[in-house]
Structure 1
Amino acid sequence: MTANKPIPELAQVRLGYIPLTDAAPLIIALEHGHFARYGLDVALSQQTSWATLRDKLGVGYLDGAHLLAPMALACSLGIEGLQQPLVTALSLGLNGNAITLADNLFRDMQVSAGGYATSAAALAAVVAQRRASGADPLTFASVYPASNHTYLLRYWLSAAGIDPDRDVKLIVVPPPQMVQRLRQGAIYGYCVGEPWNTLAVREGVGGIAATGHDVWNNAPEKVLAVSAAWAERYPATHAALISALVEAAQWLDASLENRREAAVLLARPEYLDLPVEVIVGSLVGDVAVDPRGGRRELSDFHVFHRYAANFPWRSHALWMLEQMVRSGQLSEDADLVAVAEAVYRPDIYRRSVGHLGLPVPVVDMKAEGGHRGVWKLGEGDEAVTLGPDRFIDNAVFDPRVLGAKIA
C-alpha cells in the first residue's frame, strides 16, 4: 500500500447516479470539497433508471457511476443488456433498502404477523388464498433484475415459503416511479432504496413490511463502478476518487448531526428534490413504517463507513453471483470465483486508501451469516470491526464451498 496521496491523471471526471439517499457519499464528496482536495473537478449526472445509467457508463459518456453492486458483475457477464467489463474497488455502503407493500395489503398482514421482519409469513397466506380462488398473482417490483433489491425480495419471499417464480409476479420499475405505481394499483409492493419507501408511508399509500437489513444484516448495496479499461488507463484518478469518497463516507458516519446536514443537501432540487423530512428519517435511524404513525429505530439502516463498509468483499460478490444462478440469470457451470476476482478489486482499494491510515481487512473473503452482533476480524493492529451479518433464515454462506480461498 502506498503512503502517498494519489495525483490524478485526469482533472475532470463525470459520475452518474440515481436519486437515492445512498448516493450521499458522491454528493457530500462534491459539496464538501473532498473531490477538489484530490485535484478532481467532478460533475454528477443524475439518471432516470439503472438501465440508462448502465448504457451511458458502457459507451463512455460517464467515467464512473454509483451502481448496483450486482450490476457491476452482470455487466461484465453480459447479463441484462450491454456487456462491458467493469471493476469496483469501493463499496459505497451497506443496507439502505426496504420492502414496502400497498397499505391495504400491509394492514391485513400486520394483524396476523409476528413482527415486521417476519411479515412475509402473513403474505404467504394471502398468496395461497388468491391461488386457491384462481386470482392473478400479486405483482411486486424491484429496481433492476440484477440487483440486491431483487435478490433480497426473492429471499424474503422464499423464507416464508412463497415461490418468487410461480406464486407472485416480479417486474422492474425505476426507483422514482415506485410510489406512483403503488398509488395507481399497478403493483402491490416493491423493494427499493430510500427515500422511496418513506415517501410511500408519508403519502399514506404503503407500509414498510421489512428492511433489507431484516433480510440480511449489513448487506452490500451500491459500489463505485468504472470500466476495466478506464481503471487501467487512469489508476491514480481512480485512487483519488476512492479516497475522496471514503473521506465523505467517514464524515457521514461520524455523527447524527452530519447525517441531518446531509439530508438538507440531498433534499435540494438538483439532487433528490424532496422534503428534508422524507430523507432524514432513514439517515438518523428513525424510520416511519406505517401511515398510522408506526416507527422503528434502525441505527444501521444506512452504514456508509463503519463495519469496513467501503471494502469490496469478494465474498459479497460470490453471494450475489450465487443469487444470479439461483434465479436463473446465470448458468450453474459459470466460474463464479473467476468473475468475482475480475470485477471486485480489494487490491486497488488497499493501494488507494493506504495514505489515509485506515484499518483495512487483510483477507478478501469471509463467511457471511454467522454473526448476530458486532465482531472482530483479525488480531491486534490488523483487527477490523465488522457488523452483524445474519440472514433472515439463519443460513450461513461460506465462499469456500465455491472453491474460494479465505486467506
Structure 2
Amino acid sequence: MRGINTLRRAILTSAVALATGIATLSAPFASATEYAEKEELKFGFIKLTDMAPLAIAYEKGFFEDEGLYVTLEAQANWKVLLDGVIDGQLDGAHMLAGQPLGASIGFGTKADVITAFSMDLNGNGITVSNDVWQQMKANIPMENGKPVHPIKADALKPVIEKYKAEGKPFNMGMVFPVSTHNYELRYWLAAGGINPGYYAPAKGDISGQIKADALLSVTPPPQMPATLEAGTIFGYCVGEPWNQQAVFKGIGVPVITDYEIWKNNPEKVFGVSKAWAEKYPITHKKVVKALIRAAQWLDENNNANRAEAVQILSKPQYVGADAKVIANSMTGTFEYEKGDKRDIPDFNVFFRHNATYPYYSDAIWYLTQMRRWGQIADAKTDDWYKETAKNVYRPDIYTAAAKELIAEGKVKASDFPDFATETGFKAPTNEFIDGVTYDGTKPNDYLKSFKIGLKGDDKI
C-alpha cells in the first residue's frame, strides 16, 4: 500500500502542479475551507492487534482523504514510544490508556500528553503456564467437562500460597507500569484475595512489589510467550495475539479475558503531545476523523471486514503474527485451553458501544487504580480526579471531528453519543469480576469499596 500511496501522491502532485503551478499535495482531499497545517506525519505503534485503526486508516486511504501522508513505525516498547511522542520524533502514537495520564501526573516521565480518541474496548487476557493451569484446575468448577467461566483468581490463590510456603517467588508479567494490563491483572488478583503489591515513588521504590503475594514486572508484549516458556514468569496479562500465541505454541492457557474482568473496558488511545495538538489543531482533527472512519470500518456489518483486517494485520510491518493466531480473537472467538474455543463477539471492539469516544470516567478509573496501588502516593479530592481527566482526555476535539464526518455524510449521527447532552461520564456500572460498582463521579467512594488497596489517607 505504501508504494501505491507514493505513486498516487506523485501523480496528484504533478496534476495539481500542472493545473495551478503549485504542488499542494493535500488539495485534492482537504475540505474546501481547512487544510492540515502539517501533512507529513509519523505515528508509532506496538505490534498488537489493537493498533488496527492506524493500519486500516492507512491501508484504506482514510488518512489521504484528509490530506495526510502518514508513515507508521513499530516501536520497541511503550517507553520508547512515549519518549518519541514527547520529544517530537513521532507526531502521535497508539498508546496505553494510562500513558497520557501517567505522564500528566508525573509517574515516570513528566509531560503534557493528551488524547482525543479511544482506539478500542477489551482485547486483553491473562495467561498462565501449563503447570500453573494444572494446579488451578483442581479449584475450578467444571461443567460438561469444561471449566466454568469466568475463572476468578480465587483458583490461583492456593497455588501462590504453595509457592510462598516453598519459599519461591510467584512472578507474573505485564507490559508497563501504567498499562491497562497492569491494572487489570492487579484487579483480578486482588478480587481473589491476592495482593499484587504497591508502588512507593516518594521513597524511590517503583517496583510495584511492596507487600506483594504475586510479583509483577514488565515484559514487552511480543516477548511474553517466550518468557513464559523459559519459566522466568508463571503467567502474564497482555493484548492479542500474545495470549492466543501461547495456546498455539502449547506453552500456556489463557484463563480470563479483560472483557470478563471489566466488561467493555477502554484499552488503547491515540496520544499526542499537548504542544503538538495546539500547534496543529486542524491536522489533529483530521487524524481523528480518519481514525473514526477506520474504527467504523472494523466493526461495520457485524464485523464483516474482520477477515480482511486479519490479513492486513498479519503483515510484518504491522503485527507480524500468523493470520490464524490473529483471527482467533479478531473474528469474535477466544480460545482458552487448547480446543476450548468460545464465542466472545465483543472481545475486540473498535467502534460500537461508543468505543472511540474519550470518556472522562474512563480516565478517572485509571487514576483510581494509580492511587489504589500507590503510583499516586497521597489522597486526592474527587475534583482533582475530574480536573486531571479533563486536562488529558479531549472529547471536544473528538466531537468536532465526528460532526464534520456527519456533515460530510461519511457517518451517521446515531453512531455517536448525543453531543448536546453528553457529559463525558458513563452511567455507574457493576460489570466487574467482583461486582463492585464504579461511578466515575465518586472516585474516592469507589476506592473505599476495596479490601485490598490504598484509600483515604493511606500511605506506603
* TM superposition score normalised by structure 1: 0.90
CA distance in 1, matches of 2:166, 2:363: 39
Partner of 1:160: 192
Bigger Rg over Cα: 2
Q: How many residue pairs were aligned? A: 380
CA distance in 2, matches of 1:83, 1:120: 34
Partner of 1:40: 68
Would the aligned equivalents of 2:425 and 2:441 in 1 still touch at CA under 8 Å?
Answer: no
Cα distance, 1:5 vs structure 2: 8.2
1:125 aligns to 2:158 (yes or no) = yes
Cα distance, 1:402 vs structure 2: 4.0
1:205 aligns to 2:262 (yes or no) = no
Partner of 2:237: 191
Cα RMSD, aligned residues only: 1.7
Would the aligned equivalents of 1:11 and 1:39 in 2 still touch at CA under 8 Å?
Answer: yes
1:144-165 deviations in Å (ceiling 9; x for gaps): 0001100110000011111111
CA distance in 1, matches of 2:428, 2:44: 30
Cα distance, 1:73 vs structure 2: 0.4
Partner secondary structure for residue 304 of structure 2: helix
Within-5 A mapping of 1:241-256: 241-255=287-301, 256=303
Cα distance, 1:96 vs structure 2: 0.5
Task: Tell me which amino acid in the other structure corresponds to 1:392.
Answer: I
Partner of 1:391: 432
Partner of 2:176: 144
Of the three residues 317, 327, 330, the one matched with 1:270 is 317
Of the three residues 104, 124, 146, the one matched with 1:97 is 124
**Contiguous gaps of at least 5 residues in structure 1:** 371-389
Within-5 A mapping of 1:5-24: 7-24=35-52
Task: Tell me which amino acid in the other structure corresponds to 2:188.
Answer: W
CA distance in 1, matches of 2:130, 2:163: 18
Would the aligned equivalents of 1:337 and 1:403 in 2 still touch at CA under 8 Å?
Answer: no
* TM superposition score normalised by structure 2: 0.80
Aligned sequence identity (%): 41
Q: Which moved more, 1:328-337 or 1:250-259?
A: 328-337
Within-5 A mapping of 1:75-86: 75-80=103-108, 82-86=109-113
1:364 aligns to 2:364 (yes or no) = no
Q: 1:6 to 1:333 in 2, by over 3 A?
A: farther
Of the three residues 128, 135, 138, the one matched with 1:108 is 135
**Contiguous gaps of at least 5 residues in structure 2:** 1-30, 142-147, 198-211, 407-412, 446-460
Partner of 1:376: none
Cα distance, 1:193 vs structure 2: 0.3
Would the aligned equivalents of 1:6 and 1:352 in 2 still touch at CA under 8 Å?
Answer: no
Partner secondary structure for residue 253 of structure 1: helix
CA distance in 2, matches of 1:167, 1:280: 35
Partner secondary structure for residue 199 of structure 1: helix
CA distance in 1, matches of 2:443, 2:290: 34
CA distance in 1, matches of 2:444, 2:286: 33
Cα distance, 1:356 vs structure 2: 2.1
1:283 aligns to 2:283 (yes or no) = no
Task: Tell me which amino acid in the other structure corresponds to 1:93.
Answer: D
Q: 1:351 to 1:139 in 2, by over 3 A?
A: same
Partner secondary structure for residue 112 of structure 1: coil
CA distance in 2, matches of 1:63, 1:106: 42
Partner of 1:382: none
Task: Tell me which amino acid in the other structure corresponds to 1:219.
Answer: N
Task: Tell me which amino acid in the other structure corresponds to 2:136.
Answer: M
Cα distance, 1:4 vs structure 2: 8.5
Would the aligned equivalents of 1:6 and 1:240 in 2 still touch at CA under 8 Å?
Answer: no
